[in-house]
Structure 1
């Protein structure tokens, strides 16, 4: 490998990761091969979302840690679905199993989904207390707690891992969530279809909140989750990008926040939600009812500019050029989503080229 290639490869490992098992899956074992392929093509992280029955991050993260040697592993959890000591224990054990490669991400589920499960809502006070308890347990403290999460007389991790504690990441869209991440977390994951303009707006909110809280603004790592469709056939591209976009924009609250942070037209959402296929759901999330392919026709309501600005579509080279815009807007690391690692080899090559060229100009 030449020095030029080496510089590009190093930057790719530091700045790019990918989801494994994107969307609904029937064979979770495929995720192990996807993680190995992601490491092989030079990506630096694999992210695991939480979807009950098929994507349990505690199980998958353990499998991935044994199948790989250097790639970082991020496991996503809904904070109120587990007792705090279980959350702390899973992350503690994953650090030990993986050789300090694990990060813990807390996600905010759609409120209607948590109500459907009969689970407590994922509110900012509950998140703040969960983060505090987990960090104290990782530090070896004995925790006595009586508050919004419940009553815990005596919490302590025995035989805890003595290495570095896992970074805590929070997925955020709106200004309140972004400010929360700046105040309480080590990193923030921005939502798919946030445009470069939206990234710049989000970064400012996070860093301002960190500074106001007396933290080093630069210490908060900004991750951006971007749907990529490099060199895909047209029908597959429409499903990966358009079909998935519908599952985000149709959600009340979520879709509105994406549009607002980007400065787009909120009236488009009314048309999308009025489509008979979406209206018939009566509030049920579209991704629980339809596959991405089944939502392609609905996606044609969305302006093409939204997909072009908020995702990375086209040839591998075109996708790489678009992804550089998100780094320029302030993202520290990009999470590639939508396509599987087996489809990302040419994109990884183009990204190494683009990253080397960026470094040469600085």
Structure 2
């Protein structure tokens, strides 16, 4: 299996034009293959990539992730088509459902069951990107043209007016077993977060056995390079604790469920109890060394090289590194 490529998450990097230009151009010089932009309820995922496209020539560009509920499938297709044209074909579309707290609390729309909704979304999206026929679809969540309550009855099927991009890679940030199985069937790859290079098989293995040739697996991994391994672990603990403890409720947190399936059930329960109880510092401290070492790249360069050997043994095709601080851009590339 080919060695994975090195990607860079733009999380934590300044999004001013001058800073983003410097980061992207330096990443290209250092040999990074791609940069990935995310969104929560601050910066959107697409606009920074348009800027990066204008100041680079080789870097691939990906959303890691864009929230599906934030845009109709057609709006996402329009944005993807625009970025493909601006970047001359360097764009990869990464999508995710996010969670009920963000979708209902920020976007103000209902949170739908991820598997069925994602399947429909991808079907509409691929039709819009392909541009081979006028866009028509009738499903449980999407009806195009719309003719339901409140419609004027004047909607008509349309086809994109710009160059189609049917081959745009679409990756899905799936974590639950059913959603991962759906992604293997419908998408071109997975965008996991909190991926374990030592325990992935028990959680993801059965679904990935059915993946077609060329299927991409592009996890984002936290990284902190430094001589003091304890200090490096402490730098990434809060980020792990945030996802396990705070990215969702006690009853609906995809990250907590994933790490529990890895075998850290008691650790997850304790982190959640502390985080949801308002004791964030204690929640971070409760992330054990074993879990940090399993999910992140931490410590001196020689140690991280040993860790990377394990990551390269699995199905990962692109490793998207999220440095603990922007100044580690060079050290990560050097270790790689």
Which TM-score band applies after superposition, normalised by the shorter structure? 0.7 to 0.9
Q: Alpha carbons of 1:260 and 1:70: their partners in 2 closer, same or farther (altered >3 Å)?
A: same
CA distance in 1, matches of 2:72, 2:227: 42
TM-score (norm 1): 0.79
Q: Determine whether 1:241 maps to 2:236.
A: yes
Whole-Å separation in 1 of the counterparts to 2:40 and 2:16: 13
Instruction: Report what 1:102 is aligned to.
Output: 91
Moved more, 78-87 or 305-314: 78-87
Whether the 8 Å CA contact 1:168–1:185 is kept in 2: the answer is yes
Residue number among 32, 47, 51 corresponding to 2:40 in the alignment: 51
> Residue 72 of structure 1: CA displacement?
0.6
User: Which sits farther off after the overlay, 298-307 or 196-205?
Assistant: 196-205
In structure 2, the partner of 1:228 is 223
- Give the C-alpha shift of residue 233 in structure 1: 6.7
Shift, 1:306, TM fit: 0.5
Per mean C-alpha deviation after superposition, the further-off stretch among 117-126 and 232-241 is 232-241
Out of 135, 141, 166, the position equivalent to 1:143 is 135
- Counterpart in 2 of 1:259? 259
Match of 1:115 in 2: 104
* Unpaired runs of at least 5, structure 2: 146-155
Q: 1:164 to 1:29 in 2, by over 3 A?
A: farther
- 1:334 is paired with a residue whose SS is strand
CA drift of 1:197 comes to 2.5
Q: Deviations over 1:115-157 (max 9, x none)?
A: 2132232522221111111111121121222333343214434
Cα distance in 2 for residues equivalent to 1:28 and 1:266: 43
Q: 1:41 to 1:177 in 2, by over 3 A?
A: same
Cα displacement string for residues 31-62 of structure 1 (whole angstroms, at most 9, x for unaligned residues): 33222221121110100001333x21221111
How many equivalent pairs are there? 316
Matches within 5 A, 1:138-217: 138-140=129-131, 141-153=133-145, 154-162=156-164, 165-192=167-194, 194-210=195-211, 217=212
Q: Displacement, 1:158? A: 3.0
Aligned partner of residue 197 in structure 1, secondary structure: coil
Q: Given the superposition, is the C-alpha separation of residues 155 and 167 from structure 1 closer, same or farther in structure 2, using an over 3 Å criterion?
A: farther
Structure having the higher helix fraction is 1
Aligned to 2:151: none
State how 1:43-82 maps to structure 2 within 5 Å.
43-53=32-42, 55-75=43-63, 76-82=65-71
What residue number does 1:22 align with?
Answer: 12
Asked if residue 307 in structure 1 is aligned to residue 292 in structure 2, the reply is yes
Distance across 1 between alignment mates of 2:243 and 2:78 = 32
In 1: Cα distance, 2:207 partner to 2:242 partner: 26
Contact 1:32/1:63 (CA < 8 Å) preserved in 2? yes
Moved over 4 A (4+): 25-29, 232-236
Moved more, 57-66 or 226-235: 226-235
TM-score by length of 2: 0.85
For 1:74, what is the secondary structure of its paired residue? strand
What is the Cα-based RMSD across aligned positions, in Å?
A: 2.6
Residue 26 of structure 1, CA deviation: 7.5
Task: Assess, with a 3 A threshold, how the Cα gap between structure 1 residues 343 and 94 changes in structure 2: closer, same or farther.
Answer: same
Which deviations, in whole Å up to 9, do the C-alpha atoms of 1:66-111 show, x marking residues without a partner?
A: 0111011002311121122111010011111101100111112122
Structure 1: 5+ residue stretches without partners = 1-10, 211-216, 282-294, 352-362
Matches of 2:130 and 2:255 in 1, distance apart? 38
What secondary structure is seen at the aligned counterpart in 1 of 2:84? helix
